[in-house]
Homo-oligomer: A and B are copies of this chain.
Amino acid sequence: MRRRTILDVAERAGVSVGTVSNALNRPEIVAEKTLASIQAAIDELHFVPSAAARQMTGARNPAIGLIVLDIGNPFFAEVYRGVEDVAGEAGYVVVVCSFAGDPAHERRQLRQLEEQRVAGILATRVGKGNSRVYGRMRKTGTPVVMLDQRSASKDQCSVSVDDVAGGRLAGEHLCELGHRRLALVNGPRDWSQCADRRTGFLAAAEAAGAQLLAGADIEAEQMTIDAGEEAARKLLAGEQLPTGIFCANDLLALGVEHALIAAGHRVPEDFAIVGYDDVAFATMAFVPLTSVRQPAYELGRRAAEQLLDEADDEKHKHERVVFAPELVVRASTGAAIDAAPDRSPIRA
């Protein structure tokens, strides 16, 4: 079936194309019965207007891009939910680009978004060599809001969480529990979030006189469960074993925990673990995970709001929102037993 155009509809309804266009966009100015016959024609012909043609005449593309590292990470899925709720409300569609850490892939996706003339972009990370692309987009009028990372300059919006504070929270918690031999399982340090968490963590450790063990300052390439398991094996192979481990996200932490337990160690008795993000699964883990919580959904909402405001409002004011992280203590640091009761025979 040939694709129908507005002209087909006009002919069928016996009116001009202008009138059909009006019926579509400003129905209030066209007469009742004209409207009815046009609607009938549209239905009969299964007409669906072309977004491309509409865009040609100056309309904005009601879509925004969301660039995330990995949508399989529940943290980003939650951020997405916040974005989607705001964008959907405003009639926008969200194009998720999950580039899995590959800068070339990211560049390709960005290019697509740029050609599509999306109304704006939410970036949770700027891959190596791609900051120029973002710069170009902003110059040509496509707003870019930094999500989960603070923008470097004042003339760009960002919604983030204080990662240095988050790292410190984790460090202080472990130190307060008496841990002096620490390990860090981090993600790529060229990602500002990871660098910041590390900074905060090290500061807390130093303040408490604890130290990061040599060889226990791991920088995993991916921030996944698998990478966490591998990191745990590395830790176990070290000369000296840590007792407190801070992981830069919950996926890594879950992997670390799983690998340690599989190797016959106990959590938290042998190793205390702190994760980051407080994803829903942290609660249900084999040993429920202590984690630094970020308000993911809210992060997504605020960022989307800022983006749409910048896209729509001529006199938009840039803003850099910073949320405070929050420590959620669970069994993996032994400081508390989560909702789940102890299952040892003693109590059974």
Chain A residues within CB distance 8 Å of chain B? 1, 3, 46, 48-56, 61-63, 71-72, 74, 77-78, 80-81, 84, 88, 93-98, 100, 105, 108-109, 111-112, 114-117, 136, 139-141, 225, 254, 257-258, 261-262, 264, 266, 280-281, 283-286, 288, 339-341, 343-346, 348
Contact = CB atoms under 8 A, between A and B. Distances in A.
A258 B286 contact: no
Nearest to A341: B264
A88 B115 contact: no
A280 B225 contact: yes
Contact of A105 (B1, B88, B114, B257): B88
A212 B308 CA distance: 51
Given A50-B55, A50-B117, A257-B284, 10 more contacts: A48-B114, A51-B115, A51-B117, A71-B71, A71-B77, A77-B77, A95-B96, A254-B284, A284-B286, A345-B346
Nearest to A288: B286
Nearest to A105: B88
A286 B340 contact: yes
30 contacts: A1-B140, A3-B140, A46-B136, A48-B136, A50-B55, A50-B115, A50-B117, A51-B116, A52-B117, A53-B56, A54-B115, A63-B112, A71-B71, A71-B80, A72-B74, A72-B77, A72-B80, A81-B98, A93-B109, A225-B280, A254-B281, A258-B339, A261-B341, A264-B341, A266-B348, A281-B281, A284-B286, A286-B288, A344-B344, A344-B345
A343 B346 CA distance: 12
